Amino acid sequence: MEKKKAAAFFKRALGFVCVTIIALTLVSGAYLSFFFIVHQPVETGAREESADFVFDINALNYMDVGDDGSFSIMLLSDLHMTFGAAVLRDKKTYDGISKALETQNPDLVIVNGDAWATPLNLPSLTTFADFMESKRVYWAYAFGNHDSEFGFSKTRLVNKLKEYEYCVFDEGPKNITGNSNYFINLRKGGDIVYTLSIIDSNEYVKYRKIYDYVHADQMEWFGRTLDAIRAAAGGIVPVSVFQHIPVPEFKEVYDSLLADGYFDTHLSDKGVYSPDYNSGFLSFLEAAGGVDAMFFAHDHYNDFGGYAPGSSIYMQYGYCSGYMANLTKELDRGVTMVYLGLGADGFLTLDPSRDIKHIMYGEM
């Protein structure tokens, strides 16, 4: 009898040791990759020179606006899911998103990067995508810097995203930088009245210490595609841009807010986490004209917005939406709503002072 008990105890102990070793291997592997894997800069030259884009306007994503010309977007930022709904904080995030979808009833949800930060990124994506599909709401995805750093590559994630009926996603041209470069055209009566640009701000440049940026080949693709959209529409179709990592000029907005005495719990005392290198994307968009706003995520504490000096493009942080993001427990999470309406010229309009609103889960 004693031998049987000892044998049973030994089996349980051995099983516990094996599970512990596997768990420690996964966790240590993830953190070793985070601190030691080298991300080399994207090579300039051939890839960032003029690319041969094959363009078909009918192949772009399209959505129809309401009869009154209204269209609402819910922005989810930095969900930082880990191992799915089994984790308490992930469940809390899912509960908050469910409440937001029920009360706000958006036409489109844009997930602006870092929905997961885990070695199990593909299972986490699957859990999240299944959740969104169950809500029967259209949703788009822009990659962030954490989505593929621990586990499966972006290619695996891209292939998975393409499987879902309600996911309005496109990888974009394979011969340019990034894996989430695409437009979503909004139509009224068959006419394009607004366009949304999802663009991959990429991950890290070198030794995982320097944030990446929108590259020259992406800008060229953006410009050519926007020109084609506007030619098809017969006018300057307005556009808003959604990307995860903010442009360096957003630091000037931060500095001006500090100079004006603005500082509260929603303005990080560590500033803006933007790339050290300025690739000129904001200036490029200014030259393109008709760009209403740029929406960012990435900085969990920051949720402010404003204009950089001399810029006509409004820049806005989305409110942090995930309870696994490293905010203090006292701060609630929430969503950012963007409301587009029909203007006198027949295109949709966006007034940042009126049409952008942060809503906390606790307020719903």
- Report yes or no on 195 lying in a domain: yes
CA distance 80 to 320: 10
Residues 20-39: tens digit of each pLDDT = 433 434 444 443 343 333 33
- Residue 48, in any domain of the structure: yes
Asked whether residue 281 is domain-assigned, the answer is: yes
Residue 334: is its pLDDT beyond 60? yes
pTM of the full structure: 0.84
Q: Is residue 257 part of a domain?
A: yes
Weakest-pLDDT range from 55-64, 154-163, 302-311, 347-356: 55-64
pLDDT tens sequence across 259-290: 776 665 556 667 788 888 999 999 999 999 99
Find the CATH number of the domain harbouring 229. 3.60.21.10
Write out the residue range of the structural domain in which residue 51 sits. Answer: 37-363
Residue 235 lies in a domain: yes
Domain count, the chain: 1
Domain-located, residue 8: no
Whether 47 is in a domain gets the answer yes
Does any domain span residue 80?
Answer: yes
